[in-house]
Structure 1
Amino acid sequence: MKGSIGRINEWFHRNGIFLKAFGVTFSSVVLVAVLITVSTLRLSIDYFMETFTITNERIVNQSKERFEYYSNVVLDTIYSTENNVRIKRAIIEEQASSVLHASAFYDVVNELEQIHARLQPESADLVLMGENGALYNMNYAYWPVSSGYLQGLDFTKQLSLNPGMIQYASIGPDEAGGERVIVAGKAFKERSSERIYAYIYIVIRESDIRRFYEGYTSEENIMLLMNRNGEILSSNRTDWIGDEDAAAAAIFGGEAGTSGNVPAATVKGQPYQLLYEYIPVLDIYLVNLVDRMSIASQLVNMQELVLIVAWIVLIATILSWLTTRHITLPLTRLVQQIDTLTRHHFKKPLKEEGGYESVQIARAFNNTLEELNQYIQVVVASQKKQKEAELQALQHQINPHFLYNTLTTVKFMVDKGDADKAIETIHALTGLLQNTLGDISETVTVEKELSYTRDYVLINQARYGDRIQVNYFIDEQCRNCLVPKLFLQPMIENAFFHGFNRKKAGYIQIMVYRTQQQLICEVADDGDGMDMEKGWTQHAQEGRKGLLKGIGIRNVQERIALMYGDGYGVAFDSAPGRGTKVKVTLPLLEAEPKQFQPEKT
């Protein structure tokens, strides 16, 4: 037993590097997988809910407009009935005979039918009750009530107390004998005697008023009408109708004319995102409830997501085990060889065996034993060169924003089916990258520099369209002249991204010509221009949208001064509204014939 434990401990001791590397790799894989999954899930749900909320706000506003339209129809109907002289006279005047009474009844019905025609598109009913109990119900099957029922209704009593006001009420199925209805009513009174001579009721069933918003609802997206007391008057959740929710009413605060968005509210004991709009004519709230949890569960299949993450972790674990073992096993053997060496006895070389890494380490170790001082000098020189190379690489690295935006543009072209333009853009990007990965300090011919420039212009026009046109005016005798590599690109970049912020279109002119001893390159645009008194440094620095990091106009000025001296460089000429011209003065140097290669087309 002790021997087994000892062998296990020895194995752990000998494979410590492997176990540590594998443990770190495995933990990193699991942590990264979990963090990416959780972050992606949260961002996806938040983005979807933000978009969903914006859409629902529009839906609530549209539904509110629909209710306001219905309210206007109700108001027009009530006032048309109240101001109808024939209806008023027929109800107030007592008829001496049954024939006159029938004639008066017919006049009222005839007038009400014409008025009721305004309500028919809304599927609403019109009921008029005279002071003597005479009842004129335009659609008895819609709301089968009697004059005795209406006279004993609490709503009628409220109308009589406030005869000058239009009031609304929700009457349940137990009271109306049918389904729940929303009733608008008003008591008509004579101005001279203040006597109430009739009551009007505009009735719409809850199922009909539900049609105003039901097309926008779902199981997770609930709409309801609620009064200030929290009573639910209408909803696509029919089992909620008639219930009261004090918690929801507390959100409104009893204040009329309010609206809002509550990200986390409790309604009927469940958490929802709550949007509400007050409808002043009806004195009710239109409420939209969004079940975030249900939407999130439908948006993401958690079982499938967990399964995918588990497979990724499992595969990554196996690969990391095999890779780590493959790397560390030769190193473990090498360590065992070093451990067996006598202290201060460096004449015995290590066996160069195992994998490539262990062989190289053993060989390096043996070389160190033989030529320690020489090796140190080489290492110091190598580290110095490496630092210089890293610094230069940081200055010349390709901007990831430029690559990302260009590749996104290519993807958009492919999605649109514009394969030819996408291929042309990819060719331009490929050529541009091939040239930018070289030594930035070298010189090229004007012909090659123009080739880089055309590729860069093509990519920018593919991204932003042809609103900025680029024209080339090149002296043919200048095409074989030598210029600093990529010195035109910052000028074009500056014109594209700073020259047309106010103006939306224009031209960029590129001119190259020679004098007796100088090569002149000008980049002019007819864009916004700038105030030279404020200096041009704010436009001369590198941008985040450009091709290269660290290669700005200021850098071009410094490179030219370093390469050719103080007699050459960059000059600006600009004014607001007049555009900008950048002039670069270089020495007139021509390439050897073998250096000149015509531009590929």
Structure 2
Amino acid sequence: MLTFDAIGETVFCGTSGDGKAFHMNRLMNFYPQGGMKGVLSLQIENQQIQPLLETINSTDEIYLVDQKGYILAASEPEMAGLPIRTRMPEEDLEQKAQIEFERDGISKIGNIQSGVFGTKILVISDKETVLKDAKAVSRRMLFLILCSAAMVFLCIICYTRWISMRVQKVVYAAKRMGQGEFDYRLENMGEDEIGQIGLAFNQLSDQIQELIRENYEKKIRIQTSELNLLQEQINPHFLYNALAVISALAMREGGKQTMQAVKNLSSFYRISLNKGKQVLSIQEEVELLQSYLKIQQMRFRDSVQVEYEIAREVLTYRTIKLLLQPLVENAIHHARKEEEVLHIAVRIQKEERDVVFQVTDDGCGIEAEKLIKLRSSLRRLEEGYGLRNVANRVRLAYGEDYGVRIESQEGYGTTVSVRIPVNE
């Protein structure tokens, strides 16, 4: 009757008498006027379903149960056709998806899933085995989680160190720039934010170097102009004094000595002019001084005597011109005593990386109070002749670490020293 009442739907008709197969029927014609009715019956052997019910764990059991609670097929073939209550307590299979019970003193867990045609699929497992497998799965999951966390943590550390190293490079470059190394550059650091910072740093470094170069060239031009101006101040001053000497000789002695004086003056200016250059060798500077002294000795004769103590190695070094002549001229005009011979010693020596020019006289010396004022005036960038002019030119040419030093004692003489760096 179930088949006829289904009106064309497939109907599950239960197991065969021996429980080795179950049937599914379908009415083929269900028209009222038909006197003959055809039925399609499908018999499914348990052994055909058996491979689908194989278990992974030997303690597991799988059952296919019909609506009436009979086993249609099972992982254990001999169970087919028996009621399910022989394997588990009678429970309402419709109400529960999982049940726990004991069988033969062993705790069991049953998982129930609904199938087609009102059937149920029941999986029964040992509770201890399930818990053991669950613990093993938990341990494996925990292991995988820990491994994943370790890998993530390692990746974070590596990435952090990579970022930190790149940031440290930028910080180090900034320190180098802060220490004055404006030509320090960062290598290509990529296209990310830190790479953009590195690119901006290199651009800033280039701009700073360009500004420094422009300012340096500007400063050099200004210093050169100031040096030329100071040089122009000393040349007319010397020329005035030299012409005064030549004029006195012409009036006193006649043409021969005047001619010699003019010749010495021309020799002085031949070296001094030096084609407009402000730098010459120390050898040429000494020759310049000797030309000047030849003119002065025509005037003062034996009352002024000059000695030289010059290291041979310094003769090829370079110096700004007219360092010695103003020092000696200052000694002749300010240190000479009436009717006494003035002795002047000119020394040029190398001291480590410097060259020291020294002019010493045994003249009248300088009063203590006047010496203080003179030393103070040498530290000011003011126009002037003689020692102040030399001091200003040395500082402009070589920096504030170089200049003129005066040592004097009234009645015993004076020593004037000029220190410049070695310039080969």
TM-score interval (norm. to shorter): 0.3 to 0.5
Q: Give the TM-score normalised by structure 2.
A: 0.41
Q: Give the TM-score normalised by structure 1.
A: 0.30
* Structure of greater relative contact order (alpha carbons < 8 Å, 6+ residues apart): 1
Larger Rg: 2
